[in-house]
Chains A and B, each alone.
Chain A
Amino acid sequence: MAGPMRIRAASNGTETEVKILMSHDMETGQRKDASGALVPAHHITELTATHNGRVVLAAQFGPAVSKNPYLQFKFAGGAKGDKVNVSWVDNKGDKRTDEVVVA
């Protein structure tokens, strides 16, 4: 199972900035292993971020997003103590959901 995300969400009173680090290999499907066999593609395909239950970002990733992906975005509103929830799913159906409290 994939490791937890590192999520930071900080409010400045008018907007909230979210920074996410995900633990994922993001295999392109083009790399060969030591024996010369192609390593199958394995990458996050979709990510959804919600603020107190409302979707604030829906992202789609291809294999060209770097290994251990990083994502940063901002939304209007949000206050200290609110919840930001991030979920991703990959092309093999693995998934992960983590939540942080806005600082």
Chain B
Amino acid sequence: MKNSTYAACVVASAFMFATPVLADATAEGIAKYREALAEGNPAELWEMRGEELWKEARGPKKATLEKCDLGQGPGVVKGVFVTLPRHFADTGRVQDLESRLLTCMETLQGIPADEVAKTPFGKGEQKNIEALVAWISAESRGMKFNLPMAHPEEKRMYEIGKRAFNYRGGTHDFGCVTCHGEDGKRIRLQDLPNLTKGPDAARGFGSWPAYRVSSGELWSMQRRLNDCFRQQRFPYPMYGSDVTVALSSYLGVTANGTVESIAPAIKR
């Protein structure tokens, strides 16, 4: 299944620029389909679990995550999703939601961050992270992105992210920018957001985590980015690595103040 999708994508990418604009009726049909799915998004099942996990004493230290500081002070969850990635003084790093959760899990609960980072998506502690990000992102639903850019490290990560986004390489000379750098592109029936522009960046970045209809799983932003690297035929990035955080910084800052976050969304 994965292989066939992959092969189809190689073909699709070759035709990407040649395809005409979607027929209105089809576009309308797809829009109706998406609308019908928005009600009763199975991501809610992950949200429920995430809220419980936040309050559950776990790990070697038998502690909850309720003292975790996601940027607005220990325990504050409401509204934090739309301010990440940001710089954290205690780690001296710019962190996205997931890398920050790793810090909290390690310091508060004693769960080793590097082991969680090595765990495949959808397994073990990664499953718990998926639930946590579903709930935490839902607590910012309807808010606009407002990533801070005051700290020099935040500015630096934004610039690195911008370069990574525009960097082309690999067997197909691909970069994020190949598919997401102009208006009006699509692959088969998927309209591709122009992630260099605010509203599209907010719609793209502000949809993840999302329930993936095709796999029936909840995909975090890290997992989404990991798959972007795969599609570019790049080596997989390490979970929570700087390049992934930098890309999120670039997308998030670009999205600032435009369209409201709908995460966790539902995606085909």
A6 in contact with B49 given A25-B216, A67-B216, A68-B216 (CB within 8 Å) = no
- Chain A residue contacts of B44, Cβ below 8 A: 6, 21
Residues of A within 8 A of B40 (CB): 19, 21, 70, 72
B residues near A25, Cβ cutoff 8 Å: 216
**Contact at A70–B216, with CB atoms within 8 Å?**
no
Please give me the residue from chain A that is nearest to B2 by CB atom. Answer: A34
**Is B48 part of the contact surface with A, judged by Cβ < 8 Å?**
yes
By a CB distance below 8 angstroms, the chain B residues around A19 are 39-40
CA distance A23 to B49 in the complex (A): 11
Residue of A nearest to B213 (CB): A66
Segment 39-98 of A: residues with Cβ below 8 Å from B? 66-68, 70, 72
A19 to B45, alpha carbons, bound, how many Å? 13
Contact B216 A3 (CB under 8 A): no
Q: Given the complex, which residues of A lie within 8 Å of B211, measured CB to CB?
A: 68
Report the minimal beta-carbon distance from B54 to chain A, rounded to whole angstroms.
16
Q: Kindly report which residue of chain B lies nearest to residue A22, judged by CB atoms.
A: B45
Give the size category of A's interface with B: 10 to 19
Q: Are A3 and B42 also in contact (CB < 8 A) when A25-B216, A67-B216, A68-B216 are?
A: no
Interface residues of A in 1-35 (CB under 8 A from B): 3-4, 6, 19, 21, 23, 25
Provide the bound-state CA to CA distance between A67 and B218, in Å.
12
CA distance A21 to B49 in the complex (A): 13
Give residues 13-44 of B contacting A (CB, 8 Å): 39-40, 42, 44
A21 touches B216 (CB 8 A): no
Do residues A23 and B45 form an inter-chain contact, with CB atoms below 8 A?
yes
Chain B nearest CB from A25 CB (Å) reads 7
List, in ascending order, chain A residues with CB within 8 A of B216's CB. 25, 66-68
Chain B residues, Cβ within 8 Å of A4: 48
Q: Smallest CB–CB gap between A17 and chain B, Å?
A: 11
Closest to B37 in A: A70
Which residues on B sit within 8 Å (CB–CB) of A70?
Answer: 40, 42
Question: Are A68 and B42 closer than 8 Å at their CB atoms?
Answer: yes
| Max count, chain B CB within 10 A of own CB: residue among A3, A19, A23, A68 | A68
Inter-chain contacts of A6 with B (CB < 8 A): 44-45, 48
CA distance A3 to B40 in the complex (A): 16
Q: List, in ascending order, chain A residues with CB within 8 A of B39's CB.
A: 19
Q: How far is the CA of A66 from the CA of B36 in the complex (A)?
A: 14
**Residue interface bits B32-73, CB-to-A below 8 A is 1, else 0:** 000000011010110011000000000000000000000000
Q: How distant is A39 from chain B, measured CB to nearest CB, in Å?
A: 12
**Minimal beta-carbon separation of A103 from chain B (angstroms):** 15
CA distance A66 to B45 in the complex (A): 15
**Minimum CB–CB distance for A72 against chain B, Å:** 7
A66 and B211 CA atoms in complex are apart in Å by 13
The chain A residue with its CB closest to the CB of B52 is: A4
Please give me the residue from chain B that is nearest to A68 by CB atom. Answer: B42
9 smallest beta-carbon distances between A and B, as pairs: A67-B216, A68-B42, A70-B40, A6-B44, A23-B45, A21-B45, A21-B42, A21-B44, A6-B45
Q: What is the interface of chain B, defined by CB distance below 8 A to chain A?
A: 39-40, 42, 44-45, 48-49, 211, 216
Besides the known contacts A3-B45, A68-B42, A70-B40, 4 further A-B residue pairs in the complex with CB atoms under 8 A apart: A6-B44, A19-B39, A21-B44, A68-B45
